Chains A and B, each alone.
Chain A
């Protein structure tokens, strides 16, 4: 601990005291810091996986991931939803030389943990470790990836745990909205509209897990990303050695999806949750994929609409009206169709009034409420100037670089980002709002206390109400 001499403080006070401080003047910002995007090298390892290494030596930390292009929506069948995530968990259950407890003990003693996940369109296995523990942790990861044994009794235990979690989720308003919303957006015949259910979890066999592992985890569709306190040249040798038993094979899947059902006219899908203190809202429609040329305009538009605290939706529905603790909007992007979603949790008695305000703001951004200079410049500044914070940690840098690879974005993406966002005009904002927020065909999912909210919602005249169960199936009126 060092202590500043009191005299320095006194001196500063004196200097400040000599001028009258005008507190009503906002101190102007200093010079904008230069954007420092991390650099990386990209090569290929023996088994065909890409390797990206970004060195960062200020702390003894390493972030390591293997990311697979493709996910549950490319590698699962409709009747076996959940096999991807079960397989991910099963990698923890033992290898040919270590049972589940031995794996756990080894990782505990290394002071780290290995996480495995398979999502909709990508999967990953990885860890963060101290520099000293990196090679040993990597060896365990390779063992889990290449030599899993998938014990049958572990599958039964995991199945039992998952069934409890699915049961618990039936009482969770956001979990319900999270199942019903994609269902009404994409339909039951689209993979995005097919959730994991009790039926699919019960249908998963050990053979399914073995087959999924074999089909999915292949180096030909993988990128290995290493960020942190390593040397690019040396770490390549270490990784090739560790992954020597991971056989060649696999290629990036085609992301072909069935076409979306024709959009219904605007409908309120009401899921009854008797006695709920709040109504959970999800309003929107399918969106464009990540590679849309309108990406930057959409980012700016959404920031103005519902991407920040002082965005229109939150400023109105939370700050001005007090109907909610917070509402927002956003676009989810991937290889397939994305989603636009506006929503939040609304006090039950104001469900109707809040819906009116949501609709007002969605119409507003589409042109009825012009975008101001202030809104446009603040949205752009916010988006552009938040970039450096992404590069503060080894995990953050890893995510930022790996995304370029999974989404096939250019290597100078972050260098170009500011100019691309900066070029967005007010006209662009209104154009993409009109194009991607389809006011005639919005799906409005509301999970709440039907007895008290149905009549007021109906009285708004905004859209007809269809009552559904918690899976999004029509249950009549």
Chain B
């Protein structure tokens, strides 16, 4: 996730506390065991998680009745979708404005623009001088941020409940009047910050470029998911204030937006304020959304990238399906059966029984139109990436052959209930869930469907998706220390990826910047 701020927001909704077993995010080391002991005073000590991946009650048990978010929804005449969900447990409110635009809507030569634009949204608007936004959120005990993904850009405030009206005023002003105060200086300032965001999150992080290299190799050069949300330095340099204006006029209109308010507020009062501040913002042009099909790869692409790392790591990515395809649920369950707890198939075989891997993960990520199943394995000394690839393939081949047991399905889904219920404690988490449902699936209540469909996954479903997607049509990427290309898996068959990103010329041959389902924060 790329966003305005450095702060990583811990929104515990679905993939939350209970749901995530030990997993290794792209580009960082494993969460356990780095920097224990004395560093605790200056940070937090490592916590040792025992347990599980995503989970649910057994197939025969009913879905938990506690998992509900009461809401009302309506559409203003200008096309703005409004979702209201009062919850008076805590005297705070979350406001979220969700625009259906992300990096996949960017034009060639302008990768990273949707996220750069997100930053511009915090520089003030017609009636809101720069700085007031932070003052009326963080300055009163709340918070704010924005995040950009491939598919959507979302802006939010959490505030004490007595500041709801000013939060709505802030959001309405930048939806209606951003361009009144826009100038090139503002854009340039944010451009520098975003370039630093890329340096911090990608270029200066061990394994930090894995995501963009994988996406680039997974999708054809012209495919809207083939470049990364953060974009390339060259394209960030090229963005103009004219680009900002055009992008704003098309995508930041109320008919492309979803306003969600969750928390301690009065419905009637909120409806009045929303009409007052958003009602007269004019509707924009209709937006055509080109159909984006998932891809398949005809053959295995083998790559090696030399990075400033101490330990090599193997990544294997298979193109799968996204949010619009119900196979995503079986793919999610498959990830939890293959990795996470010590009994998961890959984890048990490589980390525990053979002890050839220090850590690994395997999981599905779903974007709106496409998805990927990604596996990453860090070796222990004395074990080559070539051997690890073979060992992982042996586990996967056996799994494809026999499929999971009912017990494995049960374990993989038993924690879903806790993940969902725990997520209900966060106003902001609920707002995101409602907005995603409305924006991607046409109903704020989609999380209920998602929960039910996750519970309904059968062994046969998982076996089918394993055989359908875990094929030789995949990308195998070895990230190795500089000068150690021979540490790649099957180095003779692996093609080197250059250090300087993907130039347009390279892109034409089928390589262009891309990160997977990552997002960027403000």
Q: Which residue numbers of A lie inside 8 Å of B, CB to CB? A: 1-4, 6, 8-9, 12-13, 15-17, 21, 23-24, 26-34, 36, 58-61, 71-73, 76, 81-82, 84-85, 88-89, 91-92, 100-101, 103-105, 107-121, 128-130, 133, 144, 157-158, 160-173, 175, 178-179, 181-182, 191-196, 273-278, 308-310, 318-320, 322-326, 328, 332, 334, 336, 338-339, 341, 344-345, 347, 378, 381-389, 391-395
Q: Residue of B at shortest CB range from A279?
A: B204
Q: How far is the CB of B274 from chain A (nearest CB, A)?
A: 8
Q: Report yes or no: B200 in contact with A111, Cβ–Cβ below 8 A.
A: no
A120 near B138 with CB under 8 A, answer: no
Closest 3 A/B residue pairs (Cβ): A113-B51, A385-B141, A322-B192
Q: Can you give 10 A-B contacts (C-beta < 8 A)?
A: A2-B72, A26-B136, A29-B160, A59-B66, A85-B37, A109-B411, A194-B37, A196-B35, A320-B189, A395-B17
Question: B193 on the interface (CB 8 Å rule)?
Answer: yes
Chain B residues within an 8 Å CB radius of A171: 206, 308-310
Chain A residues lying within 8 Å of B34, measured Cβ to Cβ, are 165-166, 168-169, 175
Given contacts A167-B310, A318-B193, contact A104 B51 (CB under 8 A): yes
User: A385 near B32 (CB under 8 angstroms)?
Assistant: no
- Is A178 a contact partner of B42 (Cβ separation < 8 A)? yes
Residue of A nearest to B43 (CB): A178
Distance, CA A165 to CA B34, complexed state (A):
6
CB atoms of A59 and B272 under 8 A apart: no
The smallest beta-carbon distance between B501 and chain A, in angstroms, is 12
The answer to whether residues A111 and B48 also contact, given A2-B72, A195-B37 and a CB cut-off of 8 A, is: no
When the two chains form the complex, which single residue of B30, B203, B443 contacts A165, counting CB atoms closer than 8 Å?
Answer: B30
Q: Which residue of A lies closest to B72 (CB)?
A: A2
Residue positions of B touching A, CB distance < 8 A: 5-6, 12, 17-18, 21, 28-30, 32-52, 55-57, 64, 66, 71-74, 76-77, 89-92, 126-127, 131-132, 134-136, 138-142, 158, 160-166, 168-169, 172-173, 177, 189, 192-197, 199-201, 203-206, 264, 271-273, 275-277, 279-280, 308-311, 341-343, 351-352, 355, 358-359, 378-381, 410-412, 414-418, 421-422, 424-427, 443-445
Report if A110-B272 is in contact (Cβ < 8 Å); known contacts: A1-B73, A178-B43: no
Bound complex: CA A105 to CA B48 (Å):
16
Q: Which residues of chain B have C-beta atoms less than 8 A from A175's C-beta?
A: 29, 34-35
Whole-angstrom distance between the alpha carbons of A168 and B33 in the complex? Answer: 11
> For residue A107, which residues in chain B have a CB less than 8 angstroms away from its CB?
50-52, 341
Pair A392/B425 contact, Cβ less than 8 Å = yes
Known: A31-B162, A308-B138. A85 touches B421 (CB 8 A): no
A384 to B141, CA, bound (A): 7
Which residues of the other chain, B, contact A103 by a CB distance below 8 angstroms?
50
Contact in complex: A278, B141 (CB < 8 Å): no
- The answer on a CB contact under 8 Å between B72 and A115 is no
CB distance from B412 to the nearest CB of A (A): 8
In the assembled complex, the CB of A137 is this many whole angstroms from the nearest CB of chain B, namely 10
**A112-B18, A120-B41 known; A275 vs B308 contact (CB < 8 Å):** yes
* With A172-B206, A309-B134 already in contact, 10 other A-B pairs whose C-beta atoms are closer than 8 Å: A2-B71, A23-B277, A60-B66, A111-B55, A117-B46, A278-B204, A319-B189, A319-B193, A325-B6, A385-B142
If A16-B276, A165-B32, A195-B39 touch, does A88 touch B48 (CB 8 Å cutoff)?
yes
In the assembled complex, the Cα of A213 lies from the Cα of B217 at a distance in Å of: 49
Q: Are A73 and B37 in contact (CB under 8 A)?
A: yes
Q: A110-B414, A111-B18, A319-B189 are in contact. Are A120 and B425 (CB under 8 A)?
A: no
Are A72 and B18 closer than 8 Å at their CB atoms?
A: no
Verify A165–B358 contact, CB threshold 8 A: yes
CA distance A116 to B36 in the complex (A): 13
CB < 8 Å neighbour of B341 from A108, A117, A318, A322: A108
Interface centre among B39, B168, B173, B276 (most CB of A within 10 A): B39
Report the separation of the CA atoms of residues A324 and B416 in the bound assembly, to the nearest whole angstrom.
39
Contact of B310 among A76, A170, A384 (CB under 8 A): A170
- With most chain B CB atoms within 10 A of its CB, the pick from A103, A196, A338, A392 is A392
Residue of A nearest to B125 (CB): A23
User: B392 to chain A: closest CB distance in Å?
Assistant: 17
B142 vs chain A, min Cβ distance (A)? 7
**Nearest CB in chain A to that of B267: its residue:** A4
Task: Please state if B38 and A73 are interface contacts (CB–CB under 8 Å).
Answer: yes
Residue of B nearest to A8 (CB): B271
Contact A36 B91 (CB under 8 A): yes
Q: In the bound complex, how far is the Cα of B39 from the Cα of A181, in angstroms?
A: 10
Does the CB pair A89–B32 fall under 8 Å?
yes
A58: B residues at CB distance < 8 A: 89
| Complex Cα spacing A124 to B391, Å | 36
Chain B proximity of A394: nearest CB distance (Å) = 7
State whether B89 touches A392 (Cβ < 8 A): yes
> Which residues on the A side are within 8 Å of B444 (C-beta)?
1
A121/B41 in contact, CB under 8 A: yes
> By the criterion CB–CB under 8 Å, are B425 and A181 in contact?
no
Inter-subunit contact B48/A117 (CB<8 Å) = yes
CA distance A208 to B66 in the complex (A): 45
- Closest residue of chain A to B92 (Cβ to Cβ) is A389
Would A325 and B162 be within 8 Å (CB), given that A61-B422, A108-B415 are in contact? no
Q: How far is the CB of B252 from chain A (nearest CB, A)?
A: 17
Tell me how far the C-beta of A242 lies from the nearest C-beta in chain B, rounded to whole angstroms.
17
Give the most central of A33, A36, A76, A393: most B CB within 10 Å.
A393
By the criterion CB–CB under 8 Å, are B72 and A191 in contact? no
Are B41 and A82 within 8 A (Cβ)? no
Pick the most buried of A2, A107, A338, A387: most chain B CB atoms within 10 A of its CB.
A107
Residues of chain B within 8 A (CB-CB) of A16 are: 272, 275-276, 279-280
Query: Please, how many angstroms separate the alpha-carbon atoms of A387 and B141 in the complex?
Result: 8
Q: Which A-chain residue is minimally distant from B16 (CB atoms)?
A: A128
A13 near B141: Cβ-Cβ < 8 Å: no
Question: Would A120 and B40 count as touching, CB distance under 8 A?
Answer: yes
Which residues of the partner chain B approach A328 to less than 8 Å between Cβ atoms? Answer: 6
Contact across chains for A3 and B66 when beta carbons are under 8 A apart: no
A389:B90 contact, CB within 8 angstroms: yes
How long is the Cα–Cα vector from A175 to B30 in the complex, in angstroms? 12
Measured in the bound complex, the distance between the Cα atoms of B131 and A308 in whole Å is: 12
Q: Select the residue from B5, B38, B425 with max chain A CB neighbours within 10 A.
A: B38
| A289 nearest CB across to chain B (Å) | 10
CB < 8 Å neighbour of A178 from B35, B163, B199, B379: B35
B173 partner residues in chain A, CB cutoff 8 A: 23
- Partner among A115, A192, A334, A386 whose Cβ is within 8 Å of the Cβ of B141: A386
A308/B425 contact (C-beta < 8 A), A4-B271, A165-B29, A165-B358 known: no
Query: Are A1's CB and B38's CB within 8 A?
Result: no
A277-B166 contact given A4-B271, A76-B37, A119-B44, CB 8 Å threshold: no
Smallest beta-carbon distance B91→chain A, Å: 3
Contacts of A339 in B (CB 8 A): 41-42
Other-chain residue from B36, B77, B422 in contact with A85 (beta carbon distance below 8 A): B36
Are A104 and B50 in contact, with the CB atoms below 8 A? Answer: yes
Question: When the two chains form the complex, which single residue of B18, B37, B134, B139 contacts A84, counting CB atoms closer than 8 Å?
Answer: B37
Q: Which among B46, B66, B126 has the greatest number of chain A C-beta atoms within 10 A?
A: B46
Chain B residues with CB under 8 Å of A172's CB are: 28-29, 205-206
| Contact B55–A108 (Cβ < 8 Å) | yes
- How close is B211's CB to chain A, nearest CB, in angstroms? 17
Contact between chains at B160 and A277 (CB < 8 Å): no
Q: Which of B38, B89, B204, B411 contacts A195 (CB 8 A)?
A: B38
A16 to B272, CA, bound (A): 8
Please determine whether A120 and B39 come into contact, CB atoms closer than 8 angstroms: yes
> Chain A residue with minimal CB distance to B12?
A393
* Cα separation A375 to B38 with both chains bound (whole Å): 34
